[in-house]
A and B are shown apart, each in its own frame.
Chain A
Amino acid sequence: MPDDANKFSRLPNPSRMLLADECPEHHDELLSEYYEDLKPVGVLERRQVELILRCDIDIDRQLRIIAHHLNPLQEIENRGAEMAAEWHRQALMHPNAIHDSDEEEVAPPEAQVLPVGDPRLTPLIASRYAQRRDLMSIHQRELTSAERRRRQAIEMLFKMQDRRRGREVPDAEVVDVKDV
Chain B
Amino acid sequence: MSRGAANAHRHGAQAQPPQAEIYRHLSRILGRRPTQFDLLEPQPDIAAALHLADCEARLDRAHAHYVKMQAVDRHREFDHLQDQLDDMVFFNWITDPFKREAAQRIMRLERYSAHYANYEKRLAGRYLREAQSKRDRALIEYMGYV
Q: Which A residues lie at the B interface, using CB under 8 A?
A: 8-9, 11, 16-20, 43-44, 47, 54, 61, 65, 77-81, 83-84, 87, 91, 134-135, 138, 141-142, 145, 149, 152, 156, 160, 163
Contact = CB atoms under 8 A, between A and B. Distances in A.
Interface in B85-138: 85-86, 89, 93, 104, 106-110, 114-115, 118, 121-122, 125, 128-129, 132, 136
Given A18-B67, A43-B28, A47-B56, A80 B114 contact: no
Contacts of A16: 60, 64, 67
Interface string B11-54: 00000000000000000110100000000000000000000000
Interface of B: 28-29, 31, 56, 60, 63-64, 67, 70-71, 73-74, 79, 82, 85-86, 89, 93, 104, 106-110, 114-115, 118, 121-122, 125, 128-129, 132, 136, 139, 142-143, 146
B78 to A, nearest CB: 9
A156 B133 CA distance: 12
Contact of B71 (A20, A80, A134): A20
Say what secondary structure dominates the interface of chain A: helix
B110 A135 contact: no
A80 B67 contact: no
Contacts of A44: 29, 139, 142-143, 146
A9 B143 contact: no
Given A80-B109, A80-B110, A135-B118, A9 B28 contact: yes
Contacts of A134: 114-115, 118
